[in-house]
Structure 1
Amino acid sequence: MRTSAKLAASAVTAGIGVTMLAGAGTALAAGPGPSPAYTPSPADTAAAAKAAAAPAARERLASFFVHLDEHQRGKLISRSAAKAAEAAKAPALESAVRPVYTLNPAFVKGQDAPVAAFAYLAVGARSATGQHATMWLTRQGTGWQVMNVISGTDEAAYPARAGGGTVFTEPQINAWYRLKDGRITGLNPTATTSVGKRGVPVAAYRTLVHTRYADKLPGSPYQRSGRLGGYTPRTGAGNGSDEGSAAPLLSALGAGGALAAATGIVAARRKRAPR
């Protein structure tokens, strides 16, 4: 999964719902926050798939891939892409629309709440020149619309590995997990480092994320102080540096924070440590 250009690539998609502040590694997002009580229906998925396949969405993808080329060549990203360059990208969807769940703030607080909350729907796409991207879709009124495009396929690929459970992300450390039969196991190396190769029971994971983030939720002294700090997935202990920092968006775990956290923290960490 190619993800090294996510931060800069997201920056050129600011007009579709997310404004990236690349220097700070943070993001501002419009739209709903995580919704523990909501699960997308087949009708939702079908409507989102239709929106993702619409001509306007294809044009947005084509422009995104052209801008990604500009970034990878070290060029300034133009505000508009040449029509011929866009046409050459011939973007196509390459996966089913799937729900993306994210770590639930109420669970982090230690409440008797679901581990993960629905954040958005995602679908993978590719260009004729071999690039890959993921479109994020959120509900707007009675329909669905594309709110972000990001390079790479994590957000489309990992949810496909649910295997009868629920796949969710802990975006602060770019970890992907599967929750099944009361146990949480890692799906990527960061998650495996976080919970071990055999995973942990839900109660143990609650203790882990409560230790990491509970004192950094909205309204906390940490959040009000504007301090930055780093975290390791193994211990959740601060390392006192900005590198790989989770702090800028830990406070975004509240309303509107799932989208901001997933965009800002994941993109920033992947830029620093591409794989």
Structure 2
Amino acid sequence: MRATARLATGALIGGTVLMGGTAALAAGPPSDEAAAAKAAASPAALQRLGAFFVHLDQHRRGQLVDQAVPKAAAQAKAPRLEGSVQRVHSLNPAFVKGDGGAPVATFAYMAVGAVSASGQHATVWLTRTGAGWQVMNVISGSEEAVYPARAQGGTVFTEPQIHAWYRLKDGRVTALNGTAASSVGRSGVTVAAYRRLVRSRYADKLPGTAYQRSGKLGGYSPATGTGDPAPDRGPAPALLALGAGGAVTAAGVALVRRRRQGGC
């Protein structure tokens, strides 16, 4: 297992959006992908992407990344979108809770990859606002845009607490990255077995539990779902209380460290 640093800008959304809770967005018609792509390609969004790539350079040089980026510097990064818009699904707290008929995962946000003139990669996250879509976050790397494209007739979803990606198909949950393989094995598990697994991890951390109210947001391991706090994940533990409302707003650019096995 190796530590991978990722940068995020904008709002790091808490469990309600990422975990498909009561405030999660409902998936819309296919035209939503086109509308989200148009929003991601807007001049304002591309300017934000360019500034993000400048911040990436600054971070890698060990410089502060909370200062404003000159418009010319952002434009020099010549950011462009890469690939098609993907629907990102996330583990459903109602499934963990055991609500009858609850799907394993629910729609969380749209994502599309981006690349700079110097070869840096990022992913743009978009959420619906009224009748349209807007950029809610930009994060380094491409997994949110790459993994959902591997559905192959099933549904790809993430268990963000442990940064695992799975495919749900024909009644089985199978691993798409190394962290997920550590969780469900290389051959995967049945939906019923996966529910028992995530219930053992998160049943006492759902909305309204003493764990959530106490503000305890410790780390998880793929094997057990519990463990000591993981300081290398930075703000990521804000995702751990399934379905928890609210958002953690990043000032400028926040460093998010993720442990990850395997990869895109």
So what's the TM-score if we normalise by structure 1?
Answer: 0.82
Tell me the alpha carbon deviations over residues 192-244 of structure 1, each in whole angstroms, 9 at most, x when there is no partner: 110011101101100100000010112111222333433221222x3344456
Which one has the bigger helix percentage?
1
Q: Which residue of 1 aligns with 2:201?
A: 212
Q: Which residue of 1 aligns with 2:215?
A: 226
Q: Does 1:144 align with 2:115?
A: no
Distance 1:78 1:231 in 2: 29
Which one has the bigger strand percentage?
2
Q: 1:55 to 1:161 in 2, by over 3 A?
A: same
Asked whether the 8 Å contact 2:155–2:168 carries over to 1, the reply is yes
Q: 1:139 to 1:94 in 2, by over 3 A?
A: same
Q: For 1:91-130, what aligned pairs fall within 5 Å after superposition?
A: 91-112=79-100, 113-130=102-119
Distance 1:216 1:255 in 2: 13
Q: Does 1:168 align with 2:157?
A: yes
Q: Which residue of 2 aligns with 1:84?
A: 72
Q: For 1:7-156, what aligned pairs fall within 5 Å after superposition?
A: 9-10=7-8, 13-14=9-10, 17-18=11-12, 34=20, 38-112=26-100, 113-156=102-145
Of 246, 249, 263, the residue aligned with 2:239 is 249
Give the aligned CA root-mean-square deviation in angstroms: 2.8
Q: 1:55 to 1:229 in 2, by over 3 A?
A: closer
Q: 1:247 to 1:211 in 2, by over 3 A?
A: farther
Asked whether the 8 Å contact 1:32–1:255 carries over to 2, the reply is no
So what's the TM-score if we normalise by structure 2?
Answer: 0.85
Q: Residue 205 of structure 1 aligns to a residue in which SS?
A: helix
Distance 1:160 1:47 in 2: 18
Please, which runs of 5 or more residues in structure 1 have no aligned partner? Answer: 19-26, 261-265
Distance 2:229 2:5 in 1: 23
Asked whether the 8 Å contact 1:34–1:256 carries over to 2, the reply is no
Please, which runs of 5 or more residues in structure 2 have no aligned partner? Answer: 250-254
Q: 1:145 to 1:29 in 2, by over 3 A?
A: farther
Select the structure with the greater relative contact order (CA < 8 A; seq sep ≥ 6).
Answer: 2
Q: Which residue of 1 aligns with 2:252?
A: none
Q: Residue 269 of structure 1 aligns to a residue in which SS?
A: strand
More divergent stretch after superposition (139-148 vs 216-225): 216-225
